[in-house]
Amino acid sequence: MDGVKKALWIVWKDVVCELRTKETLSSMFVFALLAIVIFNFAFQLRGDERVGLIAPGVLWVAFTFAGVLGLNRSFIKEKDHGCLEGLMLCPVDRSAIYAGKALGNLAFMLLMEAIALPMFAVFFNLPVLMPSLLLVILLGTVGFAGVGTLFSAISVNTKAREVMLPILFFPVLIPIVIAAVKSTAQIFDGVSFDQSMPWINLMLAFDVIFLVVSFLSFEYVVEG
């Protein structure tokens, strides 16, 4: 319980800092909205029966690249202001630091998605308030934020840190992105939830495996 409390304090610190600056959320939301608008006018498929083929990819492109912007800021602020060394000197287990940063990134991504989803529904005229779709988005976001936090900690110590994060992160992210796009497409096509279960199970397995790996390896990343 002590580790959980310390992780929640880190989340609280990140949330308070973000409320003061609004740098991360504003950039994430603007990028997601811009991607949705550009794809909408590029394909002009509103009301077209083919919209279900394009919309899942558009949705996850917006979420993925907006999420990378947020992950880039996760440790850069700590590094530039010398706060990362302060966190390392605190009597806090490294796993608590990882949990706090990952939960903070997850909260920011979920907030961005909650704002972007209605815009997506307006532009593509598709229903988004479906339990199955919300489950897919949650599973995809959990895996994205959990693994992305680890790679953000890795890339922050490199010179080209803004470029290194997507280069290192995207190859690992491929399975969950493919599963998220495929299951989202099936949901928009009206396929039964049971038929989407293989992709959802893949996302669940990805989340469990990579969250455990990230949790256990974070200590060696930040101290390396």
Indicate if the pLDDT at residue 162 is higher than 80.
Answer: no
pLDDT mean across residues, the chain: 85
**Mean pLDDT of the 15-38 span:** 86
Q: List the single range of 4-13, 23-32, 60-69 with lowest mean pLDDT.
A: 4-13
Q: What is the pLDDT of residues 42-86, one digit of tens each?
A: 876 655 566 777 889 999 999 999 999 888 877 777 776 666 666
Q: Which residues contact 216 (CB under 8 A, 6 or more apart)?
A: 95
**Mean pLDDT of the 17-45 span:** 84
Say which residue the tokens 């080209």 belong to.
160
- Please tell me the distance from the alpha carbon of residue 190 to that of residue 186, in angstroms, as a whole number: 6
Closest CA to 69 of 22, 114, 29: 29
> In terms of pLDDT, which residue wins out, 163 or 203?
203
> Which whole-number Å values give the CA distances from 184 to 138, 187, 188, in the listed order?
12, 5, 6
Q: What is the pLDDT of residues 97-140, one digit of tens each?
A: 888 889 999 999 999 999 999 999 888 888 888 999 999 999 99
Q: Are the C-beta atoms of residues 69 and 28 closer than 8 Å to each other? A: yes
Q: Which residues contact 137 (CB under 8 A, 6 or more apart)?
A: 63, 113, 117, 180
Say which residue the tokens 């600056």 belong to.
21
Q: Are the C-beta atoms of residues 75 and 84 closer than 8 Å to each other? A: yes
Q: How many Cα neighbours within 13 Å face the side chain of 208?
A: 6
Indicate if the pLDDT at residue 217 is higher than 60.
Answer: yes
Please report which confidence band the pLDDT of residue 143 belongs to, taking 50, 70 and 90 as the band edges. very high
Supply the pTM of this predicted model: 0.89
